[in-house]
Structure 1
Amino acid sequence: MTRNLSGQPARHEPASAEEWLARLLSPESGADDRAGFERWRAADPQHAAAYAAAERIHRRAAELAGDPLLRAAARAARRAPQRSHRRAWLLAGGMAACLLLAAVLLWPAREQADLVQRYAQAAGLPQNVLLPDGTALALDAESALTIRFGAHRREVVLERGRAEFGVAHDPARPFVVRVGEASIHDVGTVFQVSRDDAGATVGLLQGRVDVSGGRSGDRWSSTLAPAQQLRIGADGRPGAVAPLDLAAARGWTQGELRFRGRRLDQLLAEMNRYSDTKLRLGDPALAALTVSGSFHAGDQQALATALARGWQLQVRRTAERELTLLPRPGATYR
């Protein structure tokens, strides 16, 4: 018999979406079950879609639990005398059948109503969310987006910040992300989209995406392959397809920020998004310093210490939640 580290018998892991749903809804479900579920979901893109479908069926069944017709059928069966047991169950069965027929007729109408939901993240580490269709979303700090999922289309509008999408396969409902006037059409993939005042960037980690934009008479489109990115200016015009730093792209979703030749003022602006403690420049001349390295998001003290040692800066605490970087006397900066 297989046992875990605590000496208890290891529980059998479910093999289907329905079994996983039952396991996760169980009062006995714990962290090990959640970790096992994440492994199962990541093993096959169809697993996420299957689980989302199982959740929809579960929600529909829950909606019926309080239906007066169904409760009446159950009461009729309980009240029926023993000698008419068969007749009572025929009555209850007939009422339940009517209820199921009504559900079949009503559910498609409910399905036509789009599901609209907004997700927002303040300062702090990225948030991981499983969207209703089974898509895995990683939402970065100071980011916000709105989803609109319908019977024939899944649409996301990125308002600000950065997000990664591990899209659940569903050919009947294309997955589209809109950022400004540009649209990113998923073709079974993992991709990232970021938006700032200067425009937007689309980066592809796996699969393929089609990016398009512009207005009638001036439309453009581009297809990205893995490890490629496309920058779209504030005017809606695309730049050239460029290589994507996969290590940096994967790093931020895990709380690790990688920089290569980044201006110090830009680096501090990025790091400040992940913490209530802010790093400031005490001398504008330091802004153009270039920094390369990997830093843990939110660990401002470690970053300040690294800058003090590697770039000859002084660090002073100028407020309870503020660290200021200053030139070191006699140091030369280029």
Structure 2
Amino acid sequence: MSLDQDADDWFVRMRGPDAADVRAQFEEWRSVPAHAQAYERRVRSFDTMMFLASTGTVRKRNLDIAKPWVLRTAFRKYAAAAIGLMLMGSLVLIVVQRSFGVPQSFSRLEVSSFEEAPRHVSLPDGSKLILDRGSRVQISYDNKQRRLRLLVGRARFSVAHDRARPFIVEAGAGRVIAHGTLFDVELTQSAVRIALLQGAVEVRDASGGNGRKRLDLRAGQRTAIEGGSVVKPTSIAAADTQWPNDMLVLYGVEIGEAVAVFNRTAPSPILCELRSSQPLRVTGAFRRSDPESFARQLAATFGFRVEKREDGSFAIVDGSRTGT
């Protein structure tokens, strides 16, 4: 079986009913860089086809008279993926236009990130998204605006310039308006958090509270919308900008905060169950995809031990003996 066929097979299996059972095998296969690249190509190609499926042109297409130039190769390649989606109650039938151009206008589409974290999504106008683990974003483009809503989690938005169509991201009661810039938005239970890495954006609060309703954010600043107000901006912490990368680099970060930062993208949670109130600071580079290694490195550095729990989490606890 070829590498592309392997990638197709894993693409279907990770969206099927046995995904949880084969996840360990999948992660082992994807740990090879060439395999990871092939799998990412499948994900991105399927995203593009989903964009096409959400357009009026495709929805109105008369499939009975569809020309034979429809991409048979693409059909064969993703027929298995379609079958996998049928198992979950949804099937998209797609006809690719001769021009192969991705339309600039489409009705609502939802993208999410589950086993792929972070997940990269290319939008038809040249903008790009990076979705954190467990995140979901709704996307709707028309001739007047590019509107996205963060439903769950966190995402990074790299916005292509388009003066005629503002790029609007909504999350909770917050709204970010941009034209060409790079920023993060995170939706938590109590707040909407925005961090601006490049360019400039306008942040608005629509909660109906009595606080500040609008703020022009500058590159290197972060703010939040909470309690009915846009809070005063502060400087972005370096650790907060690294989440799309597998390597997390920490410089003198308090251990509790280090664990909290790691957990925001960790496939399995780390618990910090220490009785000591002594200030401990973490410096080093850690792989976000390997929570056990992170926990054990911290434990070894400070003389603690690690307990692996039945739910898959790793607890850092007092004691010098290394746990299992």
Give the TM-score, by structure 1 length: 0.59
The alpha carbon displacement at 1:311 in A equals 2.3
* Structure 2 residue matching 1:308: 3-state secondary structure: helix
1:268 aligns with 2:234: no
Partner of 2:216: 223
Unpaired runs of 5+ residues, structure 2, are: 1-36, 68-102
Q: Distance in 1 between matches of 2:211 and 2:269?
A: 43
| Aligned pair partner of 1:194 in 186, 193, 200 | 186
Report the Cα offset of residue 185 of structure 1: 0.4
- TM-score using structure 2 length: 0.60
Cα distance in 1 for residues equivalent to 2:141 and 2:240 = 26
In structure 1, C-alpha distance between the alignment counterparts of 2:148 and 2:184, rounded to whole Å: 12
CA distance in 1, matches of 2:210, 2:62: 54
The answer as to whether partners of 1:123 and 1:274 remain within 8 angstroms in 2 is no
**Aligned partner letter, 2:203:** V
- 2:283 is the counterpart of 1:307: no
Alignment match of 2:243 (pick from 245, 252, 258): 252
% same residue: 25
Q: Return the alpha-carbon distance in structure 1 between the equivalents of residues 58 and 172 of structure 2.
A: 39
1:127 matches 2:119: yes
Question: Would you tell me which structure has more helix in proportion to its own residues?
Answer: 1
Report the Cα offset of residue 129 of structure 1: 0.7
Amino acid at match of 1:309: A
Pair 166,122 (structure 1): closer, same or farther in 2 beyond 3 Å: same
| Partner deviation per Cα, 1:222-252 (whole Å, 9 max, x = no partner) | 112211111222x23122111123x434421
Q: CA deviation at 1:298?
A: 1.9
* Contact 2:160 2:179 (C-alpha < 8 Å) held by counterparts: no
**Matching residue within 209, 213, 228 for 1:236:** 228
> For structure 1, which runs of at least 5 residues remain unmatched after alignment?
1-30, 39-50, 72-109
Choose from 132, 140, 146 the match for 1:148: 140
State how far apart, in whole Å, the 1-side matches of 2:107 and 2:248 are.
Answer: 34
Q: Distance in 2 between matches of 1:310 and 1:133?
A: 47
Structure 1 vs Structure 2 CA RMSD: 4.0
Q: Deviations over 1:124-149 (max 9, x none)?
A: 62111112333110001122221122
Do 2:176 and 2:204's aligned partners in 1 also have CA atoms closer than 8 Å? yes
Q: Report which stretch shifted further, 142-151 or 270-279.
A: 270-279
Asked if structure 1 preserves the Cα contact closer than 8 Å seen for 2:211 and 2:230, the reply is: no
SS of residue paired to 2:299: helix
Q: Whole-Å Cα distance in 2 between the matches of residues 123 and 283 of structure 1?
A: 31
Instruction: Indicate the structure (1 or 2) with the bigger Cα radius of gyration.
Output: 1
Whether the 8 Å contact between 1:124 and 1:274 is mirrored in structure 2 is no
Is the 8 Å Cα contact of residues 124 and 298 (structure 1) preserved in structure 2? Answer: no
Equivalent position SS for 1:141? coil
Partner of 2:161: 169
Cross-structure match for 2:87: none
Q: 2 CA distance for matches of 1:148 and 1:294?
A: 38
Does the alignment pair 1:296 with 2:303? no
CA distance in 2, matches of 1:218, 1:250: 27
Which one of the candidate residues 200, 204, 209 is aligned to 2:196?
A: 204
Matched residues in 2 for 1:159 and 1:289: separation? Answer: 36
